[in-house]
Structures are given as C-alpha cells and as structure tokens.
C-alpha cells in the first residue's frame, strides 16, 4: 500500500516530507515483528501509527490493545499488564488476565511508556526478550506472542541519565524508531489541517465553513503550536462556535492564540531584569546584534567620507563613539568574549591616506602605538588606571588586560 492510500485509509492530513517518511517507515516495518518506538511531542498524532503498523501486519486479525501507561496508578500497573492471581493483594477477589495475555497473537500499544515504574520496566524487558511473564502473586511462567509498539513525548536519553528509565529497555524498544514531527516542522500542512477541521465542525454544527484572509493564514502558519494538532483542532472549534463572521482575519485569529511559552528567536539581555537567568549564549547574541548595528553605522560614516573629503576631519570623533560602544558591549559579557579584539580610534586611522600627503617615517606597528598610548595615559594620570582607561576610551578591565598582555610596568 502506498503512502497516499495509507493517508486516506487512516485519515492523515499533510504532505510534509517528514510526515511521509514516518508513514513509509511504519509501512515497511509492519509485516515484521520488530518492536517500534514512536517519539514526538504531545498532540502530534502518535496514536495513529500503531494502528497503521497493526492493520498492515499479519496480526491484523488479532487483538489490538492501547494502554496509557501514565494513566494507570503505580500500584496496579503490573496487574493491568500481566494479570494477577486471586488473593495476591487486597481487593484481588478473583484471578484476572493481563493485557499481555489477552493480546496474545496481536499488538499492544504502550503509550507514554516512559511513565512506567522501574519495577514494571524490568517485567516488560523480560517479556520483550523471552516472551515470558509472571502474573502478580503467581510463580507459573506464561508464554505470550505479542507485538509491542511504544510511544513517548519525553526525552528518553534524559530520563535514562536521571535514572527514571532503564537503558537496556530503551535499546530493546528502540529497534525501529519513528519520529513524528511537530507542526512547526511541517508548516505546509497547518492550513490544510485547519481547513479540514473547519469543514468537519461546519458539518457538525450545521453552519458555514470558516475561511481565513491571507494575513490570517500567515499568522496561522507562523504560530509555534506548542500543543500541535490537538491545539489547532481545539482552536478551530472555538472559532467555529464563537465567531459569527465566517471570514477570519489576523486580528480575530490572534485573540484565540495564547502567547507561546517558548521562543524561536534568541532572548536579548535586559539589564532591568536582574532576577532572570541569562545564559552566555543570550549575552553573545545581544552583543553581536548591537555590534552589527554599530558597524553598519560606521560603514555609513566611511561612505560619507569617500564622497566628501571635507568630512574626513569628522571620522575620528564618529568612529571613536561607535567603537567605544562596541567595546562597552563586549565588556558586558566578561571573559566570554575576551578573545575579541577591536582597535581603538586612537590607533592609526583606517582611512587611506590622500595621495599627495607627506610621508612620515615612524613605526606603523599597531601594537607599538597601543603600548605607547597606554604608557602616556598612565604617566599623565600618575599610574591611576581608572583615569587612564577613561582617557583612552576603554574599560578599566580592558586596560588591565592589555597592561598584563604587553607587560607594561
């Protein structure tokens, strides 16, 4: 069965290459008995893929049982999965078969498998490796032939590091991994899904179908959709019921879109918010963005000089202000960007000399000039570094670093 036929049969909407890849893997692994682990964020539709695998397998006439591992209390999960004997615990008035016994010859879908207690993970690992298990309160080994498909929306590797998930069980479940992409990674499908949901709700509530203006479509597509398909469906239903106008513009749509908890853009540093935790990466972004602006301004000054020679006298003051601004921003993040070197305007000017100017025989070494300026500033202010730094237009920390670098006494 090809991908398009599978989409039609199981009601899958979308043309994203990532989605097609996931469907293709599910179709290829279905005829085998390999264990499959499906990963993806909450609300992406992971529950559809075990059905595809089961229906396209030789087990399609057997039982299909979906178990939400996170919804079953820890004290009863073993009994639910493996069954129990009469009197094995308080309330066990009669023997009961577990899902692995009932689904013999079929498929079990373990949703939110990372929520299983560690003791249950040990039992599950034994079933996967030997096909055998024990009922709660029994010493009799029971054989079962069950295909296991598991799913989770958590980072399994992080759960393993935190001791909440067994590494050997992960490798046993992850024989064939299938990744279901979130909506923000399949933007081309968002409007298609909205139109499908809008048509369904229009038929359900007997009302005209919702339509979106062009600006509303862009808003819809660019939204992050933390809740993925589930969130998109719920919002479409809300708008269908509440809004009387059937043509929805961006302003109306935004009223139904909550502010996303996450951001796709880097966070910029806000000096007023001293309580917030700022990472070095965020500080670097701030510095680089501000540097880009100042460098563009500096380019404008240079362009003006090239057009009008009378402006050449102003380059020192303009470049001094701009590069001092860049240096101050670099100092804000301390040692993170200590390796960045920016020449101060007091050093030899970068403007090409006018052709008929007099050639002066002197050292053209930037380092020598910088050392000479630092020595003069220190001498002028009798060794007081703070005043010398102000005179040079740099921070005291930068001056200290250069004194140490050049071994100035």
In a domain, 306, yes or no: yes
Chain segment 222-240, per-residue pLDDT in tens: 999 999 999 999 999 999 9
With contact defined as beta carbons under 8 Å apart, do 229 and 183 qualify?
yes
Q: Are residues 156 and 40 in the same domain?
A: yes
Q: What is the pLDDT of residue 121?
A: 97
203/72 same-domain check: no
* Contact in structure between 10 and 35 (CB atoms under 8 Å): no
Give the end of a domain, one of 158, 181, 204. Answer: 181
In a shared domain, residues 239 and 309: no
- Would you say residue 68 lies in a domain? yes
For the record, the structure tokens of 213 come out as 């203006």
Q: What is the average pLDDT value for the chain, to the nearest integer?
A: 83
Q: Are residues 205 and 115 in the same domain?
A: no
Total number of domains in the chain: 3
Q: What would the 3-class secondary structure string for 51-106 be?
A: HHHHHCCCCCCCCEEEEEHHHCCCCCHHHHHHCECCCCCCCCCCCECCHHHHCCCC
Q: What is the DSSP letter of 69?
A: G
Query: pLDDT, tens digit, for every residue of 171-187?
Result: 999 999 999 999 999 99
Q: What angle do helix axes 190-205 and 214-222 make, rounded to 10 degrees?
A: 110
pLDDT digits (tens, 9 = 90+) for 335-392: 444 444 444 444 444 444 434 444 445 555 777 778 888 888 888 888 888 888 888 8
The answer to whether the CB of 389 falls within 8 A of the CB of 380 is no
350 in the same domain as 239: no
Residue 40, pLDDT score: 96
Determine which helix (DSSP H) or strand (DSSP E) holds 150, and give its type and residue range.
strand 147-152
From 138, 153, 181, give the residue that closes a domain.
181
Question: Do both 67 and 190 map to the same domain?
Answer: no
pLDDT band at 331 (very low <50, low <70, confident <90, very high): low
For residues 134 and 221, membership in a common domain is answered with no
Closest CA to 52 of 88, 17, 83, 26: 26
Residue 367 included in any domain: yes
Q: Phi, psi (5° rounding) for residue 66?
A: -105, 125
Encoded tokens for 374: 């630092």
List the end-to-end C-alpha distance of the chain, in Å, as a whole number.
81
Residue 400 half-sphere exposure toward CB, CA atoms < 13 A: 8
The encoded tokens of residue 145 equal 């032939």
Please classify residue 362 by burial: count the beta carbons closer than 10 Å to its beta carbon, then call 0-12 exposed, 13-18 middle and 19+ buried.
exposed
**Distance between CA atoms of residues 247 and 208, nearest Å:** 10
d(CA 71, CA 223): 30
> 162 is in which domain, residue-wise?
3-181
Of 126, 154, 181, the residue that ends a domain is 181
Angle at 96 (CA atoms; ends 94, 101), nearest 5 degrees? 160
Query: Can you tell me the distance from the alpha carbon of 126 to that of 105, in angstroms, rounded to the nearest whole number?
Result: 17
Neighbours of 110 (CB within 10 A): 24
Q: Domain check: are 247 and 285 in the same one?
A: no
d(CA 85, CA 107): 24
Greater confidence, 293 or 282?
293
The model carries a pTM of: 0.63
Whether 200 shows a pLDDT value over 90: the answer reads yes
Q: How far apart are CA 333 and CA 353, in angstroms?
A: 36
264 belongs to a structural domain: no
Element (H, E) at 133: strand 132-134
Q: Taken in order 89, 90, 94, 97, is the CA torsion positive or negative?
A: negative
Per-residue pLDDT, averaged over 195-204, amounts to 96
The answer to the question of residue 219 being in a domain is yes
How far is residue 127's CA from residue 134's CA, in Å, rounded to a whole number? 9
Say if residue 167's pLDDT is above 50. Answer: yes
CATH code of 216's domain: 1.10.8.60
| Domain shared by 160 and 42, yes or no | yes
Answer with the residue of higher pLDDT: 111 or 365.
Answer: 111
Q: Which of 41-55, 319-333, 366-380 is predicted least confidently?
A: 319-333
- The verdict on 190 and 165 lying in the same domain is no
Q: Is 269 part of a structural domain of the chain?
A: no
Same domain, 50 and 173: yes
Q: How confident is the model at residue 261 (pLDDT cuts 50, 70, 90)?
A: low
pLDDT band at residue 170 under the 50/70/90 scheme: very high
Residue 64 in 3-state DSSP?
Answer: strand
Residues 99 and 207 reside in one and the same domain: no
**Rounded CA separation 353/166 (Å):** 70
Within-domain flag for 261? no
Q: In angstroms, rounded to a whole number, what is the distance separating the alpha carbons of residues 247 and 237?
A: 15
The bridge status of strand 141-143 relative to strand 132-134 is antiparallel
Q: How far apart are CA 303 and CA 306, in angstroms?
A: 5
Helix (H) or strand (E) holding 67: strand 64-68
State pLDDT tens for residues 299-319: 665 665 555 554 455 555 555
Q: Across 13-60, where does the E strand assignment appear?
A: 36-39
Q: Above 60 in pLDDT, residue 206?
A: yes
The CATH number given to whatever domain includes residue 112 is 3.40.50.300
Residue 142 lies in a domain: yes
pLDDT over threshold 80, residue 126: yes
Q: Is residue 210 predicted with pLDDT exceeding 80?
A: yes
């Amino acid at each position: 069965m090809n991908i398009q036929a599978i989409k039609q049969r199981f009601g899958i909407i979308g043309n994203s290459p990532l989605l097609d890849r996931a469907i293709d893997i599910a179709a290829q692994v279905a005829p085998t008995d390999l264990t499959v682990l499906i990963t993806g964020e909450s609300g992406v539709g992971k529950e559809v893929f075990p059905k595809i695998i089961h229906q396209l397998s030789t087990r399609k006439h057997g039982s299909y049982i979906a178990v939400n591992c996170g919804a079953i209390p820890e004290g009863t999960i073993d009994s639910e999965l493996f069954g129990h004997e009469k009197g094995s615990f308080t309330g066990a008035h009669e023997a009961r078969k577990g899902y692995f016994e009932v689904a013999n010859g079929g498929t079990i879908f373990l949703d939110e498998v990372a929520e299983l207690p560690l003791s249950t993970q040990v039992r599950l690992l034994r079933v996967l490796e030997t096909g055998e298990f024990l009922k709660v309160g029994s010493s009799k080994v029971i054989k079962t032939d069950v295909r296991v498909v598991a799913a989770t929306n958590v980072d399994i590797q992080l759960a393993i590091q935190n001791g909440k998930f067994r590494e050997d069980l992960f490798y046993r479940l992850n024989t064939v991994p299938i990744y279901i992409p979130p909506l923000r990674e399949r933007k081309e499908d968002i409007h298609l899904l909205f139109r499908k949901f809008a048509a369904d709700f229009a038929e359900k509530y007997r009302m005209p179908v919702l339509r979106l203006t062009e600006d509303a479509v862009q808003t819809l597509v660019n939204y992050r959709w933390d809740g993925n398909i589930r969130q998109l469906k719920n919002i479409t239903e809300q708008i269908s019921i509440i809004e009387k106008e059937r043509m929805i513009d961006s302003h109306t749509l935004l009223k139904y879109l909550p502010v996303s908890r996450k951001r796709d853009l880097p966070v910029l540093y806000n000096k007023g918010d001293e309580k917030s935790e700022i990472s070095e990466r965020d500080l670097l972004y701030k510095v680089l963005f501000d540097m880009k602006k100042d460098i563009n301004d500096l380019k404008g000054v240079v362009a003006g000089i090239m057009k009008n020679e009378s402006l050449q006298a102003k380059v020192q003051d303009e470049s001094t202000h701009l590069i001092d601004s860049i240096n101050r921003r670099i100092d804000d993040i301390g040692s993170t960007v200590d390796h960045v070197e920016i020449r101060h305007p007091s050093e030899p000017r970068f403007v090409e000399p006018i052709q008929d100017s007099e050639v002066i025989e002197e050292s053209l070494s930037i380092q020598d000039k910088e050392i000479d300026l630092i020595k003069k500033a220190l001498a002028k202010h009798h060794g007081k570094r703070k005043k010398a730094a102000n005179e040079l237009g740099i921070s005291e920390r930068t001056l200290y670093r250069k004194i140490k670098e050049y071994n100035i006494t």
